[in-house]
């Protein structure tokens, strides 16, 4: 003879069987949007990488350094002054058509 189950045990047995065989709840619309956002964030899996994709990181890293150099050179020119007495500038201003870079370097 099997022992009689108490009402509490019967109630727990009903809850356990209901929990085991219950259908999983359907995901709500917000979780579907989150999943699709994550999938879009991953991007295409078979896409070839763009060789210039990471170039903007280098450009923006050196942009501040280039700005500092430009400011320093502008300050230098403002303090010293741009005078045509220098050799290459003087040659360009005297004869701009006949000036060659090789003449300035000393090749001719």
**Residue 106 lies inside a defined structural domain of this protein:** yes
**Residue 21 lies inside a defined structural domain of this protein:** no
Report CA 38 to chain centroid distance, whole Å.
17
> Measured between alpha carbons, how far is 64 from 37 in angstroms, rounded to an integer?
34
**Residue 56 lies inside a defined structural domain of this protein:** no
pLDDT digits (tens, 9 = 90+) for 60-87: 889 999 999 999 988 888 887 766 556 6
Identify the residue with better confidence: 67 or 88: 67
**Residue 94 lies inside a defined structural domain of this protein:** yes
**Residue 32 lies inside a defined structural domain of this protein:** no
Token pair of 26 as six digits: 């359907």
Instruction: Supply the pLDDT for residue 86.
Output: 62
- Count: domains in the chain: 1
**Residue 90 lies inside a defined structural domain of this protein:** yes
**Residue 70 lies inside a defined structural domain of this protein:** no
Residues whose CB is less than 8 angstroms from the CB of residue 87 and which lie 6 or more positions away in sequence, other chains included: 104
pLDDT digits (tens, 9 = 90+) for 31-48: 778 877 887 777 666 667
């Amino acid at each position: 003879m099997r022992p009689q189950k108490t009402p509490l045990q019967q109630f727990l047995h009903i809850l356990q069987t209901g929990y085991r065989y219950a259908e999983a709840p359907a995901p709500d619309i917000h979780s579907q949007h989150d999943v699709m956002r994550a999938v879009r964030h991953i991007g295409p899996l078979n896409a070839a990488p763009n060789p210039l994709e990471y170039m903007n990181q280098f450009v923006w890293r050196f942009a501040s350094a280039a700005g500092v150099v430009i400011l320093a050179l502008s300050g230098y020119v403002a303090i010293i002054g741009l005078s045509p007495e220098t050799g290459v500038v003087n040659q360009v201003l005297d004869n701009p058509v006949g000036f060659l870079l090789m003449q300035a370097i000393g090749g001719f």
